[in-house]
Structure 1
Amino acid sequence: MEEKVNKNGIGLVGLTALIVSSSIGTGIFGITSSIAQSAAPGPAILSWLLVGFGFLMLVLSLNNLTEKRSDLKGGIFAYAGAGYGPLGEFISGWAYWLSAWLGNLAFATMLMSAIGTFVPVFKGGSNLPSIIVAIIFCWALTFLVNNGVESASFINTIGTFCKVVPLIMFVIICIVSFKGGMFTTDFWGRVANNLSKGTTTGGLWTQMKGTLMTLIWVFIGVEGASVMGSRAKSLKEAQQATMLGFVLLLVFYMLISILPYGSLTRAQLAGASQPALGSDLKMIVGDWGAMIINIGLIISTIVSWLSWTMLPAETMLLIAEDGAAPKFWGKLNSKKAPTNSLFTTAVLQTIFLFSLLFTDKAYEFCYTLASSAILFSYLFVGLYQMKFSRERKEWGQWTYGLLAALFQFLCMILAGWQYVLVVSLSYIPGLIVYYQGVHEQGRKLNKNEKITFVVIALLCVLSIVLIANKTIDIM
């Protein structure tokens, strides 16, 4: 059957830019320090290969499902609905929505911190002036997207090209200053001495595990073309954009995070102040390098924030259209933008931005929680890929789904179990929203839905207990 083409939709370049821009945000500018604290060059390379393999399985699963379930407009959360009913779709979609706007809070903190290098009143990124300006940014981007998603995508495409320039410059400088002897010194991180202050020594797996949530954080957004697939010119271009975006990101991330080990010692990288890339260049070439990186960070954060304003709103719109959330979330304005979803999300972001005044770990908490939340959505993709492929007896595709699901589950257990429990707390208001949708449809909760409600409630109680006794530290 001939593929339908939406002439007014987002094309291959726009979708690829959306994926790259959604993923290359604040995380890449701090990645050298975060990775160096946990891993030496050897374990860091193996971590990238592990995470790259896990996300490759996710991308292959997404492309297969995008092609064979083109009737599902809702992207990754619609797959959860097709396999596990409306509540499955809501759980996946709610996690995706939560991850996106929590990521925006992380963007706000890093953005104001970068601006603080030029305007001292914003230094630190989490004081009252910073919060007020961040709220202004939040609402400005909300009104922009509310004026039309496709036009916002055009701005995003332009911004993507602008923000990668300082990152390319960083890679070139690291290549020119690369020293093989420095790179191979303590390649596996087994030497513990007074020169390795601020870094972790230990076994290979211990070092790799310490990097997982950081690497997942910088990969969030790789599924962007799938989520925006209903607005693409064609499904084929959505598939191509997903794979192209993934390959570009993996190569770029590995170059930026691994090459500096050949220009600076691991201790220097681990001890660098944020944004780490600016501190790295300051040590290599001087102050001008840090200034360029900070300008790039400001542009990167604003453009990524734009992308992540689009994605959560689109999420709630699509699950509402599928009947897994109240119709309120699916209301469109004259520009075909999900007005209620956009403005409800903006209100929540505004409220939570003020909470950054009361924690000294705002950025780390927000991005770790965002990474943990997205694991639910990614896990459902792997599980549905397995179920769908088993029904069609496509065992190669079933294997992709199995490996994708195992990778996400591994990350949940080994790297983020504390924050996975914290995410469960967000499902208390979420389940109220879901129940409103059930009531709106004139039906009652079925047995499986009631059991799921009880399980989530128990996880919430466990999370509260662990937070109370400081087993989970969120401050």
Structure 2
Amino acid sequence: MENEKKGIGKGELIALIVSSCIGTGIFGITSDVSAAAAPGPALLAWVFVGIGFLMLVLSLNNLSEKRPDLTAGIFSYAGAGFGPMGEFISGWSYWLSAWLGNIAFATMLMSSIGTFFPTFKGGQNLPSIIVAIIFCWLLTILVNNGVESASFVNMIGTICKVLPLIIFIVIMIVCFKAGMFTADFWGRVANNASKGTTTGSVWSQMQGTLMTLIWVFIGVEGASVMAHRAKSRSAAQEASILAFVILVVIYVLISILPYGTLDRAQLASMGQPAIGHVLKATVGTWGSVLINVGLIISTIVSWLSWTMLPAETTMLVAEDKAMPEIWGRVNAKNAPTASLMITAVLQTIFLFSLLFTEKAYEFAYSLCSAAILFSYLFVGLYQMKYSSENKEWGQFTIGLLSAAFMFACMFLAGWQEVLLVSISFIPGFIIYYLACRENNHKMTTAEKCVMVLILVLSIVAIWLVANGTITIS
């Protein structure tokens, strides 16, 4: 019989996991999904993405149980399976994804504030960017001085984002019209009710939703970290699966129910945060106010936590000697100052670039989703490697399905974003080279080949951007 220890119970762990995964993405998912797909293809896309992320969660559960000695985040699996270069690629991608996610936070936050102060409407004009940069540096300074999100602050943020979502779901169920929902269930009819949306094959519509659906699942890897706090291993594993199911149900309801209240053209044309605009069109201004107040508070709380995440990532990778020591050096408050400052400078530069981007929020979260696919891919690959070495063929199959899903998303939906992410490895490999010199690590032939391959992809990406094949919009 498994001995229970003091720790978090299953119910509390489920709440923690759900809270950590639900971010700003769910507030904007309605318009992005409806623009890409009709209800039928959207539901099929959820099945596809749900199965793929379930395989990732099962892989993380298995690896956290079998390799409790690997504590440096999910990128430690890449290091264990594929050496320092593997850990660097995974950690660099995770770091990139984390601060790009903050760019999406910034644009969503300013869009919400724009509901009350028209100067910031849209969230990507000059006043919005200046205020977002101020937020970015204030949070960076707070974290650098050792101020991290306390449990009561997280509780406030959780209530502010979950309560409006519950109210939204209830209103959508009450206002749901089956006839409107089934009118063009597969999105094959091009008419006024589909203006500004994708029509045609079911697969092309599914494909158009993938990066959006991946975005709302970013953070699901936190379940394996939180599992170590559970009273028992079995409770942790059950909580991870139950929390994942709850998340899928919430995501599906919020993205699918609006098809039965407004037509696709209306949903697709909604600004951000989309569900605020949906409620305004359905029940009036108070619905929009409710959503935006909750979103503003929860975004600031989430942004505080995610300010520390990129710095923690580089700190852990530096401790494993896959990045230079300066990236992991901490101050008297135990905060990695150099990493925080470098990340804040990059966020500032990227925020100014949004002046030239047509859809800033979508652009930021698409790059964020593409970047984290590299880290998730390594989890599946290491699950395959570890399971084959130990002849655990059931677990090997789970890893195979997880890795195949990540590859599919890279090539089918996010190939342009993946190529853009590859450009970041030009300075990245300089940093890796400095780490190798600092730690007396002689790069292997395989590592050099990987570097050349990724650098070739980055050159191709720059060329495709220059000739207009890839548009930054």
CA distance in 1, matches of 2:99, 2:236: 23
- Indicate how the Cα distance of structure 1 residues 395 and 153 shifts in structure 2: closer, same or farther if over 3 A, else same: farther
Query: Partner of 2:204 in structure 1?
Result: 206
3-state DSSP of counterpart to 2:70: coil
**Do residues 471 (structure 1) and 466 (structure 2) align?**
no
Residues 30 and 274 in structure 1, CA contact (< 8 A), matched pair in contact too: yes
Residues 104 and 308 in structure 1, CA contact (< 8 A), matched pair in contact too: yes
Query: Partner of 1:276 in structure 2?
Result: 274
Query: Partner of 1:222 in structure 2?
Result: 220
Residues 192 and 265 in structure 2, CA contact (< 8 A), matched pair in contact too: no
Choose which of 45, 53, 56 in structure 2 pairs with 1:55.
Answer: 53
- Indicate how the Cα distance of structure 1 residues 65 and 423 shifts in structure 2: closer, same or farther if over 3 A, else same: same
Query: Partner of 2:157 in structure 1?
Result: 159
> Which stretch has the larger CA shift, 422-431 or 118-127?
118-127
Choose which of 255, 274, 297 in structure 1 pairs with 2:253.
Answer: 255
1:80 Cα deviation from its structure 2 partner: 0.5
Unaligned runs of 5+ in 2: none
User: For residues 385-414 of structure 1, what are the alpha-carbon distances to aligned partners after superposition, in whole Å with 9 as ceiling and x for unaligned?
Assistant: 000000111111111100000101000010
User: For residues 258-282 of structure 1, what are the alpha-carbon distances to aligned partners after superposition, in whole Å with 9 as ceiling and x for unaligned?
Assistant: 1111222222222223221112111
Query: Partner of 1:126 in structure 2?
Result: 124
**Do residues 293 (structure 1) and 301 (structure 2) align?**
no
Residues 31 and 274 in structure 2, CA contact (< 8 A), matched pair in contact too: yes
- Indicate how the Cα distance of structure 1 residues 462 and 337 shifts in structure 2: closer, same or farther if over 3 A, else same: same
**Do residues 307 (structure 1) and 305 (structure 2) align?**
yes
- Indicate how the Cα distance of structure 1 residues 271 and 78 shifts in structure 2: closer, same or farther if over 3 A, else same: same
Residues 19 and 223 in structure 1, CA contact (< 8 A), matched pair in contact too: no
- The count of aligned residue pairs is 472
> Which stretch has the larger CA shift, 458-467 or 240-249?
240-249
**Do residues 345 (structure 1) and 343 (structure 2) align?**
yes
For 2:351, the aligned partner's letter is L
CA distance in 2, matches of 1:334, 1:242: 35
CA distance in 2, matches of 1:242, 1:334: 35
1:346 Cα deviation from its structure 2 partner: 1.8
- Indicate how the Cα distance of structure 1 residues 97 and 149 shifts in structure 2: closer, same or farther if over 3 A, else same: farther
1:150 Cα deviation from its structure 2 partner: 6.4
Residues 66 and 235 in structure 1, CA contact (< 8 A), matched pair in contact too: no
> Which stretch has the larger CA shift, 58-67 or 149-158?
149-158
1:327 Cα deviation from its structure 2 partner: 1.5
Residues 86 and 324 in structure 1, CA contact (< 8 A), matched pair in contact too: yes
User: For residues 82-120 of structure 1, what are the alpha-carbon distances to aligned partners after superposition, in whole Å with 9 as ceiling and x for unaligned?
Assistant: 000000000011001101101111111111111011112
1:33 Cα deviation from its structure 2 partner: 1.1
CA distance in 2, matches of 1:86, 1:154: 38
- Indicate how the Cα distance of structure 1 residues 321 and 136 shifts in structure 2: closer, same or farther if over 3 A, else same: same
- Indicate how the Cα distance of structure 1 residues 312 and 235 shifts in structure 2: closer, same or farther if over 3 A, else same: farther
Query: Partner of 2:262 in structure 1?
Result: 264
Choose which of 417, 421, 424 in structure 1 pairs with 2:422.
Answer: 424
1:429 Cα deviation from its structure 2 partner: 1.0
**Do residues 436 (structure 1) and 430 (structure 2) align?**
no
- Indicate how the Cα distance of structure 1 residues 241 and 325 shifts in structure 2: closer, same or farther if over 3 A, else same: farther
> Which stretch has the larger CA shift, 193-202 or 380-389?
193-202
Residues 145 and 152 in structure 1, CA contact (< 8 A), matched pair in contact too: no
- Report the TM-score, using the length of structure 1 for normalisation: 0.93
Query: Partner of 1:414 in structure 2?
Result: 412
Residues 148 and 304 in structure 2, CA contact (< 8 A), matched pair in contact too: no
CA distance in 2, matches of 1:245, 1:153: 20
Query: Partner of 1:66 in structure 2?
Result: 64
CA distance in 2, matches of 1:92, 1:191: 42
Residues 13 and 241 in structure 1, CA contact (< 8 A), matched pair in contact too: yes
CA distance in 2, matches of 1:6, 1:473: 53
Choose which of 392, 395, 416 in structure 1 pairs with 2:393.
Answer: 395
1:224 Cα deviation from its structure 2 partner: 2.0
User: For residues 283-319 of structure 1, what are the alpha-carbon distances to aligned partners after superposition, in whole Å with 9 as ceiling and x for unaligned?
Assistant: 2111111111111221232222223223212211111
Residues 224 and 311 in structure 1, CA contact (< 8 A), matched pair in contact too: no
CA distance in 2, matches of 1:224, 1:149: 21
- Indicate how the Cα distance of structure 1 residues 150 and 290 shifts in structure 2: closer, same or farther if over 3 A, else same: closer
3-state DSSP of counterpart to 2:68: coil
> Which stretch has the larger CA shift, 137-146 or 359-368?
137-146
> Which stretch has the larger CA shift, 61-70 or 319-328?
319-328
User: For residues 114-143 of structure 1, what are the alpha-carbon distances to aligned partners after superposition, in whole Å with 9 as ceiling and x for unaligned?
Assistant: 101111222222223222221222123223
Query: Partner of 2:101 in structure 1?
Result: 103
- Indicate how the Cα distance of structure 1 residues 243 and 229 shifts in structure 2: closer, same or farther if over 3 A, else same: same
- Indicate how the Cα distance of structure 1 residues 248 and 159 shifts in structure 2: closer, same or farther if over 3 A, else same: same
Over the matched positions of the two proteins, sequence identity in percent amounts to 70
For 1:460, the aligned partner's letter is S
- Indicate how the Cα distance of structure 1 residues 470 and 234 shifts in structure 2: closer, same or farther if over 3 A, else same: farther
For 1:23, the aligned partner's letter is C
CA distance in 1, matches of 2:419, 2:284: 43
> Which stretch has the larger CA shift, 259-268 or 165-174?
259-268
1:19 Cα deviation from its structure 2 partner: 4.3
For 1:275, the aligned partner's letter is P
Choose which of 16, 40, 43 in structure 2 pairs with 1:42.
Answer: 40
3-state DSSP of counterpart to 1:474: coil
For 1:306, the aligned partner's letter is L
Query: Partner of 2:194 in structure 1?
Result: 196
Residues 149 and 337 in structure 1, CA contact (< 8 A), matched pair in contact too: no
CA distance in 2, matches of 1:322, 1:234: 29
Choose which of 328, 351, 356 in structure 2 pairs with 1:330.
Answer: 328
- Report the TM-score, using the length of structure 2 for normalisation: 0.93
- Indicate how the Cα distance of structure 1 residues 146 and 5 shifts in structure 2: closer, same or farther if over 3 A, else same: farther
RMSD: 2.5
For 1:111, the aligned partner's letter is L
CA distance in 2, matches of 1:229, 1:137: 32
Query: Partner of 2:314 in structure 1?
Result: 316
- Indicate how the Cα distance of structure 1 residues 409 and 456 shifts in structure 2: closer, same or farther if over 3 A, else same: same
CA distance in 2, matches of 1:418, 1:376: 14
3-state DSSP of counterpart to 1:75: coil
Residues 23 and 304 in structure 1, CA contact (< 8 A), matched pair in contact too: no
1:241 Cα deviation from its structure 2 partner: 5.5
CA distance in 2, matches of 1:457, 1:61: 30
For 2:197, the aligned partner's letter is T
Residues 66 and 239 in structure 1, CA contact (< 8 A), matched pair in contact too: no
User: For residues 7-51 of structure 1, what are the alpha-carbon distances to aligned partners after superposition, in whole Å with 9 as ceiling and x for unaligned?
Assistant: 8xx987886566444432222122111111121111111111110
Residues 149 and 305 in structure 2, CA contact (< 8 A), matched pair in contact too: no
- Indicate how the Cα distance of structure 1 residues 149 and 359 shifts in structure 2: closer, same or farther if over 3 A, else same: same
